[in-house]
Structure 1
Amino acid sequence: MTSRSGRGLEKRKFKAPHLSKYSTSELKRSFVKRDRAIKIIKEMSEFLRILDLRESAILKTMIVRFAIESVEASHGSLIVYDPEKNKLRYQDTYVYDSDNKIILDPVVFESYSNIGEVEVEVGEGVAGEAYIKGIPILVEDIERSHYKKPIIGDLMKIDIGSVIAMPLKINNEVSAIFEITNSKSKLSFTQDDLETITIIANFTSTILENANLFLWAIHDSITGLYNNHYFFKELGDEIIRSQRYGRYFSLVMFDIDDFKNINDTYGHSNGDRALQMLSDCILKTIRKDIDIACRYGGDEFIIMLPNTNSESALKVCERLLNTVRSMKIECSDGRYFFMTLSMGISEYPKDGEESYFLFNHADEAMYYSKRMGKNRISLYQPEFSKLE
């Protein structure tokens, strides 16, 4: 006679139907792959920790590489939406080569001098549907599906077998698509792979949302230039660096001549347009990722030029002034106007070793330009401080 405890044990016999489907080699491969994915995600976390939040473009590119490596995919692409053409554009494409290295795909760049020329229609293929629906899509066998093969496979002359298309969302809006592909010679992607890519995409979305908040907090809303809070932090840091390494740098302060008259005559919307066009000129004139431009307030601007003496800064200002005063600002009613600048330059440490003196001396040089008739540039001189 079987005891109650014996019957209970029989009912609680261990069963693992979800494991019985797999062979030992398949299970081993699955565990190895999962361990690899966890390692890659940890590496990605470390990368994100040290990343400058202003470098969102670098982040998106690097995340594609992490995604490819985490699931050992053959290829991966970052696809972005082009609002002007209403199409999806391949921004970057990478290949996981025979040496297990992630490289920019050379075949694509032989066919297209610019990877941005590779486009697909919104809604077309796996990536297009993932963009429209805003959901991840796993296709284990593209030939047996209703989807069109990714165009990147034709360009690389690779027979693509399996595809994962993962939307990258920022504030619940799709900003890009990760398209991860495997050739037919490799195993198809699995649900585990999809979960891994989903973790990476969600992690990235959170970082990009934080980056957008950070960028919003340090930029002026009208011009897109840095605001004065961020500028003066950078100015303080530059003084410390210049003291440490014995370097110099220049500050340029300027405003638009008679800007109040522009607003009164042509309206504030056209005044804002003038500010935006000026900021575009500034960004085209200064060195990207080196010089820092700020809208200080109203129509006043400041530029910091690291490792630049006042004579070199004067040449930069001359280029900017010549560009701005030849620029025609057209109004919606057919009217137009021109603008000029009054500019002043101070140099560290010659004109001051503290931010207060550098700023005030650049400001005094700017007002000297105004006294001398506007539409000009002045290098700070000690006698400017004595002028009323």
Structure 2
Amino acid sequence: MEQLIKQTLNTIAHLANSKQVALFSVLDDYNGILIGGLFKGEFTFPNKTIEFKNTPLEKIILTKHTLTCHGTLIDLLPFPFYKGIDNSFECLCLPFLNDSNEIKGIAVFSKNKNFPLSTECLQTFTTLSPLIVAIMETAFKGELLLKLSTQDNLTGLYTRHYFETRLQEELNRSHRHGGVMSLLLIDIDHFRQINDSCGYEEGNRVLQEVAKLINSSIRQKVDIPCRYDSKQFIILSPNTNVDGAHILGERIRQSCEQLFFSTLQGIPFKVTLSVGIAHNIETALEETFNSSTNTNNQITELSKEELIHRTELMLYAAKQAGRNKVMVWW
């Protein structure tokens, strides 16, 4: 799927002589999805819903014509605006139509002043339009299959396999560009007793409600919530230090205390959570050579295995401390 979008973005960038390209799929007159982008040679796949209303993209959907307008960067990708703003640039919005003359996609790219688009180039885009639309539709079918393979059926959160893949990607990104990320490992206290006394149906409802609580507490499209095993969840939180992760963990733990469930006999009970937190950066203080007073910060990035292990140790510490607690590897 991503390979198809990469090829499409490369083709658009090459024909337009542009280093900044965003590709949108059109859902309706006012909404679309940012499915891929190219920024200075690096690909991204946000799959983010974007509102077109009151932007030039709305006009393009109505007219089905190419439009030149002011642009700015959103997530490092070009997006059009009617009025110029700070650090704005000129961009071109190019619609892609299918064989039925329905607009299915829009490419937005920064214009290269040294290489204005020729009539022949625009005609090439028109010729390629049905092919690009077909690629986008194929990509969405692949996205649906990917979602089915990466989404836990019971809770709707991501699977453990997806988590491990994304964790490695984020660690690689952190290694290249710097930055910090945190993991929150969340365990439902006494879950086996809940299943034994309340039945598996109520146990499943507990899992679903906790998953819903987690999903409503995180930053959408940023944090990555996953079902880690039968009674555990894990959150990958990019660009978040342990202070921010601790606040999130406490918010989830305290919110869970407000939920009520019932046994097979109708007796209400509460559910508590234990949370372990760690981050990918380790800072050690070392004395500066030939100095007894000055120190240097020695920063080390943890591997995937080390980061998960520390998070598990903190969860174990929370359990040992009496459960219903958040423990952090500072």
Out of 237, 240, 244, the position equivalent to 2:176 is 244
Aligned to 1:62: 25
> 1:362, 1:296 → 2: CA distance?
12
> Given the alignment of the two structures, is residue 374 of structure 1 paired with residue 323 of structure 2, yes or no?
yes
Matches within 5 A, 1:28-107: 46=8, 62-63=25-26, 94-96=58-60, 100-101=65-66
Deviates more, 1:203-212 or 1:235-244: 203-212
Aligned to 1:364: 313
Aligned to 1:270: 202
Matches within 5 A, 1:170-319: 205-319=137-251
> 2:25, 2:166 → 1: CA distance?
27
Deviations 1:311-340 (A, max 9, x none): 221111111111111112357985543211
Closer, same or farther in 2 for the Cα pair 1:317/1:206, shift >3 Å? same
The size of the alignment, in residue pairs, is 224
Contact 1:236 1:355 in 2 (8 A): yes
Contact 2:184 2:278 in 1 (8 A): yes
SS in 1 for 2:157: coil
Which one-letter code corresponds to 2:187 in the other structure?
A: D
Task: Please state how far the C-alpha of 1:63 moved relative to its aligned partner.
Answer: 3.6
Deviations 1:129-155 (A, max 9, x none): xxxxxxxxx9xxxxxxxxxxxxxxxxx
Structure 1: runs of 5+ lacking an equivalent: 1-41, 51-57, 66-75, 80-90, 104-137, 139-163, 169-195, 382-388
Aligned to 1:34: none
Deviations 1:50-82 (A, max 9, x none): 9xxxxxxx99x72468xxxxxxxxxx5789xxx
Judging by fraction of residues, say which structure has more helix: 1
> 2:319, 2:6 → 1: CA distance?
53
Aligned to 2:37: none
Closer, same or farther in 2 for the Cα pair 1:198/1:283, shift >3 Å? same
Deviations 1:268-310 (A, max 9, x none): 1111111111111111111112111111110111111112111
Closer, same or farther in 2 for the Cα pair 1:376/1:357, shift >3 Å? same
Percent identity over the alignment is: 28
Which one-letter code corresponds to 1:304 in the other structure?
A: L
Contact 1:293 1:304 in 2 (8 A): yes
Which one-letter code corresponds to 1:276 in the other structure?
A: Q
Structure possessing the higher relative contact order (Cα contacts under 8 Å, 6 or more residues apart) = 2
Which one-letter code corresponds to 1:376 in the other structure?
A: K
Contact 1:63 1:200 in 2 (8 A): no
Report the TM-score, using the length of structure 1 for normalisation.
0.49
Judging by fraction of residues, say which structure has more strand: 2
Aligned to 1:174: none
> 2:148, 2:315 → 1: CA distance?
29
Contact 1:255 1:342 in 2 (8 A): yes
> 1:323, 1:266 → 2: CA distance?
22
> 1:99, 1:218 → 2: CA distance?
36
Closer, same or farther in 2 for the Cα pair 1:312/1:202, shift >3 Å? closer
Question: What is the RMSD of the two structures over their aligned residues, measured on CA atoms?
Answer: 4.0
Kindly name which structure, 1 or 2, has the bigger radius of gyration based on alpha carbons.
Answer: 1
